[in-house]
Amino acid sequence: MRLTPLENTEKEIDIAAEVNRLAKMTVPELRTRHVELFGAPAKSHHKEFLSRQIAWRLQADVEGGLPEETRQLALAVARDAPLRLRIEGAAARSAIEAELTSTTRITTNHDTRLPMPGSLLVKEHKGETHVVKVLDNGFDYDGRVYRSLSAIAQQITGTKWNGFLFFGCTKEVSHGGQ
């Protein structure tokens, strides 16, 4: 059953608890859950992919999906559409048309090693699943906001850790653009 934004007020779900539950499910159970949420069988049999896809859908249902503008940009990227408009032969075009044409560049000051805010980082440590939500300015773990992943890693393990290394965020994540 897919939750609509209106139903969210009546039936709140705990995303972290759901992610923990998904981590313990088998592939057939995940594929059944996929059909319930998406209304179609999953094309994948990869457990981690299915877990992440289902977790994303649950989070989107509860907190809202992508804004329409972002969704359209993602569709354009998926279609390999050009992201920049160039004015070629502007001299041949009318001055009004040239003034109405614009170019823009998407920039972010977000750390490229991290997924975008709103994403969930899931870490299995000593048989326990830990879920961290990436925020604009920090991280939400276990109901508390932390300034760094290292502080959360230390909270979990009791020893000092590089947070990016602990959560597997050592490679830069591509966020699109040119």
pLDDT, residue 59, reads 87
Angle at which helices 15-23 and 47-63 cross, to 10°: 170
| Residue 133, domain member (yes or no) | yes
pLDDT tens for 145-160 read 999 999 999 999 999 9
How many domains does the chain contain in total?
3
| Residue 172, domain member (yes or no) | no
pLDDT tens for 128-141 read 999 999 998 899 99
Angle at which helices 27-38 and 47-63 cross, to 10°: 30
Indicate if the pLDDT at residue 92 is higher than 80: no
| Residue 173, domain member (yes or no) | no
Give the mean model confidence (pLDDT) for residues 4-31: 76
Whether residue 50 sits in one domain with residue 81: no
| Residue 77, domain member (yes or no) | yes
Q: Which two tokens stand for residue 146?
A: 């932390």
Whether residue 157 sits in one domain with residue 135: yes
| Residue 9, domain member (yes or no) | yes
Indicate if the pLDDT at residue 3 is higher than 60: no
Which one of 10-14, 31-35, 65-69, 92-96 scores highest in mean pLDDT?
A: 31-35
Provide the residue range defining the domain that includes 86: 68-100
Give the mean model confidence (pLDDT) for residues 170-175: 60
Whether residue 56 sits in one domain with residue 35: yes
